[in-house]
Amino acid sequence: MGDGMWLGGGDFVTALQELLWSEAKRREGIAADEHPHSASALRPESPAARRLHLRHLEVAAECGEVAEQVMKDAAARSGRAGASFPEMGAAAKITRQTARNRWPQAVGTRWSLHTLRGRQHPHGTDTVMTRSREKAVIAGWDAVRKGDAATGGVLAALVSDSEHRVVWASLFDPAEYDAAVIEVPDDLVDIPVGDGEAHQAWTDRWALFVAAEVERRTVRA
C-alpha cells in the first residue's frame, strides 16, 4: 500500500476500509486475492456473509481501540514537542477540555517567562521556559525591579502556563521605583503560539499597554 493512498480524507478512508476487510478475510482463512473483494460483494442473507461481516465488525472494534492508543501516543508526543491542549483539541476535532480530560498527562507543567526590554519603541523581547512557576515569577520580578529599562533593561514581564495563558504580570512602576504586579487586559491573556503575525500583533498590544500604564504611573509620580 503506497503512502499516496493515505493522503486526503477519501483515500484514507478507502485504504482503511480495505485494510480492515483484508484482516477480516485473513481471520476467516480467505486469501487476500480471493472473493469476496469487498464487504458489499456477499449476499446479505447467507450464513457465510453473516460470519464474515461479524468478523469484520470484530476487526473494526479492535481498530477503534488501536486508534485510541495511537491517539494517546500522538498526544503525548505532541505535548513533549510543546503543543497545548487547545492545539491537540483542534487537531483531533474536539474541545480543549475534552482533550485535557482524555489525555491529562500529555501536556507537562511548563511556564514561560516573557520579558519586554527598553523604555522606547522598538522594545526587545525574550522568552524563557522553565518547569517551575515560582522560578519564572522570581526571575521576572527580579529583572523588572532592577529599574534599568531606560538603558535597555527589562520594563515588563509575563509568565504563561502550558496553555499559553498569562498567570502573572509585572512592570516597572516609576512612582515606586520598583516592580509592581498588574493585571493584563483580556486581549493579552492568551498568547499566540510561535513567532508569526499573530504573536507579533500580541507583542505590539502588550508593548502599547505597558507604555500607557507606565505613562499613567509616571504622571502619578
Same domain, 190 and 118: yes
Largest CA distance in the chain: 90
Q: Say whether pLDDT at 9 is over 60.
A: no
Q: Say whether pLDDT at 208 is over 90.
A: yes
Cα 15 from Cα 19, distance rounded (Å): 6
Same domain, 78 and 119: no
Contact status, residue 170 vs residue 213, Cβ threshold 8 Å = no
Give the tens place of pLDDT for each residue, 135-161: 999 999 999 999 887 788 999 999 998
Same domain, 136 and 191: yes
Cα 36 from Cα 16, distance rounded (Å): 17
Same domain, 10 and 80: yes
Count of structural domains, the chain: 2
The domain containing residue 73 runs over which residues?
3-102
Same domain, 55 and 132: no
Alpha-carbon separation of residue 94 from 86, 102, 123 (angstroms): 9, 10, 38
Q: Which of 9-23, 66-80, 152-166 has the lowest mean pLDDT?
A: 9-23
- pTM reported for the whole predicted model: 0.56
Q: Say whether pLDDT at 172 is over 90.
A: yes
Alpha-carbon separation of residue 206 from 9, 115, 209 (angstroms): 40, 10, 5
Q: Which residues pair with residue 114 across a beta bridge?
A: 127, 158
Cα 10 from Cα 155, distance rounded (Å): 53
User: Count of alpha carbons within 13 Å of 70, Cβ hemisphere only?
Assistant: 7
For residue 2, name the pLDDT band (cuts at 50, 70, 90). very low
Q: What pLDDT score does 159 carry?
A: 96
Q: What pLDDT score does 164 carry?
A: 87
* 40 compared with 114, residue with greater pLDDT: 114
Same domain, 70 and 151: no
Cα 190 from Cα 38, distance rounded (Å): 49
Helix spans in 84-184 (H): 85-92, 96-102, 133-145
For residue 48, name the pLDDT band (cuts at 50, 70, 90). confident
Cα 80 from Cα 108, distance rounded (Å): 7
* Residue 102 grid coordinates: 482524555
Single residue among 102, 125, 145 that ends a domain in this structure: 102
Q: What pLDDT score does 160 carry?
A: 93
Cα 201 from Cα 157, distance rounded (Å): 17
Interacting residues of 105 by C-beta distance below 8 A, sequence separation 6+: 76, 79
For residue 8, name the pLDDT band (cuts at 50, 70, 90). very low
Single residue among 59, 79, 102 that ends a domain in this structure: 102
3-class SS of residue 184? coil
Same domain, 121 and 216: yes
Single residue among 67, 102, 137 that ends a domain in this structure: 102
* 84 compared with 173, residue with greater pLDDT: 173
Same domain, 77 and 123: no
